[in-house]
């Protein structure tokens, strides 16, 4: 698998994951609005917010074209191939 294909796949995964987090954020907002305040809802909301920030940072990093990130992706591809072969 070419490094560009992996990078494209990673970008697509990050985008889809971000979409799921946005959905969870909407759900937690509805829960906070419609239910009595609870620790669980606050924890869910805070966790989703943190994951959205992390995903956004990772996406920004994945978008940056630099030689170092290409090397990391190439190494990960090689390791994945070795792992899949047994």
pLDDT beyond 80 at 21: yes
**Segments forming the whole domain that contains residue 10:** 3-85
pLDDT of residue 22: 93
- Count of the separate structural domains present in the chain: 1
CA 20 to chain CA centroid, Å, is 10
How far is 78 from 83, CA to CA, in rounded Å? Answer: 9
What pLDDT digit, counting tens, does each position of 45-79 carry? Answer: 999 999 998 888 877 777 766 556 667 777 777 77
pTM for the whole structure = 0.61
Cα Rg for the chain, rounded, in angstroms?
18
């Amino acid at each position: 698998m070419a490094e560009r294909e992996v990078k494209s796949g990673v970008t697509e995964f990050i985008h889809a994951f971000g979409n799921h987090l946005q959905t969870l954020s909407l759900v937690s907002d509805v829960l906070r609005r419609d239910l009595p305040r609870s620790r669980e809802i606050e924890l869910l909301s805070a966790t989703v917010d943190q994951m959205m920030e992390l995903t956004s940072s990772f996406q920004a990093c994945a978008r940056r074209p630099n030689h170092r990130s290409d090397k990391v992706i190439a190494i990960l591809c090689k390791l994945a191939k070795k792992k899949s072969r047994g």
